Amino acid sequence: MSELNLILLGPPGAGKGTQAERLQGDFRMPHISTGDMLRAQVAAETELGQEAQRYMTAGELVPDEVIIGMIIARIAEDDARDGFLLDGFPRNTEQADALAAALEKLDRRLSAVLLIEVPDEEVVRRLAGRRVCVKNPSHIYHVEFDPPKRDGVCDQDGARLIQRDDDQEETIRRRLEVYHAQTAPLIAYYDSDGVLRRFDGLRSADEVHDRIRATLATLRLEETF
């Protein structure tokens, strides 16, 4: 497999960020998060960034063609020639069609779409239980899985712990509704293309990582035959 071009797919709270970080370290490929990429383009005042800023300033969604333009520009950079890891895009089948067309023009293709499956109730359990330090947001706890020594108090600096607005159960369930309505159809889309690979997100992060690595190793081995 000359290139390793991957998409991470799954609901919020599935552990995509953790796996993206590990895969980036494993394969030295850029982790392309559309949110981070959009902010970087705007900050750099590129032509695409300025176009995106006009929509954002008007309170409108940035059109797919602008996002695709940013992605194509990003994967054309030197560090992405041997592969990339897309996270947060595509979000629906229309975006997937646009991505496929853009990759075809570059004579590139997807190697695999890595789906991390987690039931809705587990997503709610994971996200609604998170607590964040008001002084240092990188200090994160979980009321069930990783509680602080003192309830509501950060172990590291004694500051108050809070539940972020986007970790409220009502917000999480709205995000899940959007995921099932818009993004989940990508499962059948990529399955029909033969590139979908499924992973049990209820397993530990180490187990998920090991299974993803084994799957990618198998894909590379199959290509040699």
**What pLDDT shows up at residue 57?**
80
Active site residue 16: yes
Half-sphere exposure of 107 (CA within 13 A, CB side): 1
Q: Out of 74, 108, 125, 130, pick the active-site residue.
A: 130
Q: Out of 164, 173, 174, 220, pick the active-site residue.
A: 164
**What pLDDT shows up at residue 224?**
67
pLDDT per residue over 83-100, tens digit each?
999 998 998 999 999 999
> Measured between alpha carbons, how far is 162 from 153 in angstroms, rounded to an integer?
9
Confidence of residue 52 (pLDDT cuts 50, 70, 90): confident
State the helix-helix crossing angle for 47-57 and 64-75, rounded to 10 degrees: 150
Domains and their CATH numbers in the chain: 4-30+77-120+170-223 (3.40.50.300)
Cβ-contact 130, 124 below 8 angstroms: no
Active site residue 160: no
Cβ-contact 21, 101 below 8 angstroms: no
**What pLDDT shows up at residue 169?**
95
pTM equals: 0.86
**pLDDT tops 60 at residue 220:** yes
Active site residue 135: no
Active site residue 130: yes
What percentage of the chain reaches a pLDDT higher than 90? 65
Active site residue 174: no
Q: Out of 175, 198, 211, 213, pick the active-site residue.
A: 175
**pLDDT tops 60 at residue 80:** yes
